[in-house]
Each structure stands twice: as structure tokens, then as C-alpha cells.
């Protein structure tokens, strides 16, 4: 690797190489049903580490001044929840990751409350419908 490659990129490339080398064995063992569950969890952890590095790398290259729409915030938090769920299932989550998602959920709840307070009220949806009086005999 050249001197121009940052340590972050070097770590990303190392992780990519590790996954690349492991994939043929993983495919063969999964196809023949010979991969033990612990090795499956270890490979899943390697994939999650790679995903974290890729997300961090991409995040460092984005324009952070661009405003984030509510849907983007909800989507980002949802993806992070799915990631933490997978990490909990594989036993690869850390307290820092759980705390970060907890902070994001609190922030998201506050943003949703603000947006909900600014949305127009739908009185027709909350008021009971007008029922016509029955016709006489």
C-alpha cells in the first residue's frame, strides 16, 4: 500500500481482503451444511465489521452540511436498529453501539414529536361521522 492510503482505508482494505478470502469456504460449508453455528456467527461479525468500516468511510466523504429529511433520519435509525439486532443475535454488539442507538432513538423521538406538532390536524378523522336521522314511518 502506498503512503497516500490512510489508516482508515488500509483497515477497510484489510477487512475486504479477509472477507474475500473467506467467502469460498463459507459458500462450500454452507452448501454442504458443514459450517458450525459459531463459525457462522464469526463470519457474520466479520461482515458487520466490514459494513461498519464501509459506512464510516462513506460518511467521511459525504457533505455533512446537507440537511437531512425526516424520512432519511427515520431510515438511518431503522438501518442502525437492524444492525444492532443482527449484532445482538450474533453476540457481536458492544455497549457503545447500544448506547449510540439509544441516543439516536431519543433524538428521533424528539424530532418526530416536533414534526407531529407541526402537521395539520385531521379533524374529520377524529370527529365522529355525521349520522343522518332515521326517516319516520
Residues 78, 101 contacting (CB under 8 angstroms) = no
The three three-digit cell numbers of residue 34, written as one number: 458443514
Residues 9, 57 contacting (CB under 8 angstroms) = yes
d(CA 93, CA 48): 10
Percent pLDDT > 90 in the chain is 13
Residues 78, 70 contacting (CB under 8 angstroms) = no
Contacts of 12 (CB under 8 A, 6+ apart): 50, 53, 54, 57
Structure confidence at residue 4 (pLDDT)? 62
DSSP 65: T
In a 13 Å sphere around the CA of 8, the CA atoms on its Cβ side amount to 10
How is the chain split among helix, strand and coil, in percent rounded to 5?
Answer: 70, 0, 30
Q: Domain limits of the chain?
A: 8-66, 67-119
pLDDT tens-place string over residues 62-115: 555 555 677 777 777 777 777 777 777 777 778 887 888 788 888 888 888 888
Average model confidence (pLDDT) across the chain? 78
Confidence of residue 132 (pLDDT cuts 50, 70, 90): low
Rounded average pLDDT over 32-46: 89
pLDDT tens-place string over residues 111-125: 888 888 777 765 545
The three three-digit cell numbers of residue 118, written as one number: 407541526
Structure confidence at residue 126 (pLDDT)? 56
Amino acid at each position: 500500500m502506498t503512503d497516500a492510503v490512510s489508516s482508515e482505508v488500509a483497515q477497510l482494505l484489510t477487512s475486504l481482503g479477509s472477507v474475500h478470502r473467506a467467502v469460498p469456504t463459507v459458500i462450500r460449508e454452507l452448501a454442504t451444511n458443514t459450517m458450525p453455528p459459531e463459525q457462522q456467527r464469526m463470519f457474520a461479525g466479520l461482515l458487520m465489521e466490514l459494513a461498519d468500516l464501509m459506512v464510516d468511510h462513506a460518511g467521511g466523504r459525504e457533505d455533512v452540511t446537507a440537511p437531512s429529511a425526516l424520512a432519511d433520519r427515520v431510515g438511518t435509525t431503522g438501518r442502525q436498529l437492524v444492525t444492532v439486532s443482527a449484532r445482538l443475535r450474533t453476540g457481536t454488539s458492544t455497549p457503545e453501539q447500544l448506547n449510540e442507538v439509544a441516543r439516536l432513538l431519543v433524538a428521533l423521538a424528539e424530532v418526530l414529536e416536533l414534526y407531529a406538532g407541526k402537521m395539520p390536524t385531521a379533524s374529520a378523522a377524529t370527529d365522529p361521522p355525521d349520522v343522518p336521522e332515521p326517516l319516520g314511518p
